């Protein structure tokens, strides 16, 4: 009898808690609905605040850390976030054929914010297994750096910048100039290499 009495007491307590939760459900639902209704305004306010900051500082380190809107389908610079980066199965066993030639004319240019080395020629120097119909020529090499050890790269990974960034910019050999190649979907291919500062000497 004592067991049945104890069990009955537990069942009554459970019934009372269930009733209390049922009474509070409408209030919780209303609260969640208010959050849902206010989300667009909150997002719009945050976007406006971000745009105001970007307008004030142009596109320095803050611009690198925040996603840049209004630049079309392929914005740049970007913050590469590994946990949400899409996996392309075509790249799993990808092969690259790289044969850079040392012949030809090289021109070094100081643009005011970067160093560029421009190359002539139209030899096929880069090919990829996942784009077998495309051949690329290394047209330009650019460097980006800063006075800060983590603010010199254009792009970031998970919000973390690097001391510098090297770009190997290739032009599709089907197009005679970089200007024409830039207007085509597969006209230009860039390889970005992040650079870190080290106290060790490397020869």
Q: Give the model confidence (pLDDT) of 150-163 as tens digits.
A: 888 989 999 899 99
Pick the CATH number of 80-195 from 3.10.200.10, 3.60.21.10, 3.40.1160.10, 2.40.170.20: 3.10.200.10
Residue written as token pair 């197009």: 175
Checking if the pLDDT of 59 tops 80, the result is: no
pLDDT score at 203: 63
pLDDT score at 176: 92
Checking if the pLDDT of 100 tops 80, the result is: yes
pTM for the full predicted model: 0.60
Separation between Cα atoms, residue 43 and residue 51, nearest integer Å: 12
Percent of the chain's residues with pLDDT above 70: 63
Q: Which helix (H) or strand (E) element contains residue 44?
A: helix 2-57
């Amino acid at each position: 009898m004592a067991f049945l009495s104890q069990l009955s007491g537990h069942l009554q307590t459970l019934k009372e808690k269930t009733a209390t939760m049922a009474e509070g459900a409408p209030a919780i639902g209303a609260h969640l609905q208010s959050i849902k209704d206010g989300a667009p305004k909150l997002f719009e306010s945050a976007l406006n605040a971000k745009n105001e900051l970007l307008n004030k500082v142009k596109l320095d380190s803050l611009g690198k850390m925040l996603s840049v809107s209004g630049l079309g389908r392929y914005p740049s610079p970007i913050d590469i976030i590994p946990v949400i980066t899409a996996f392309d199965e075509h790249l799993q066993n990808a092969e690259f054929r790289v044969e850079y030639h040392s012949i030809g004319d090289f021109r070094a240019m100081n643009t005011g914010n970067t160093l560029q080395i421009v190359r002539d020629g139209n030899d096929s120097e880069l090919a990829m297994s996942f784009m077998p119909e495309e051949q690329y020529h290394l047209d330009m090499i650019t460097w980006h750096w800063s006075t800060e050890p983590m603010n010199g790269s254009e792009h970031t990974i998970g919000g973390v910048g690097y001391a510098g960034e090297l770009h190997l910019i290739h032009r599709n050999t089907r197009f005679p100039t970089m200007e024409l190649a830039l207007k085509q979907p597969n006209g230009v291919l860039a390889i970005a290499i992040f650079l870190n500062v080290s106290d060790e000497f490397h020869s």
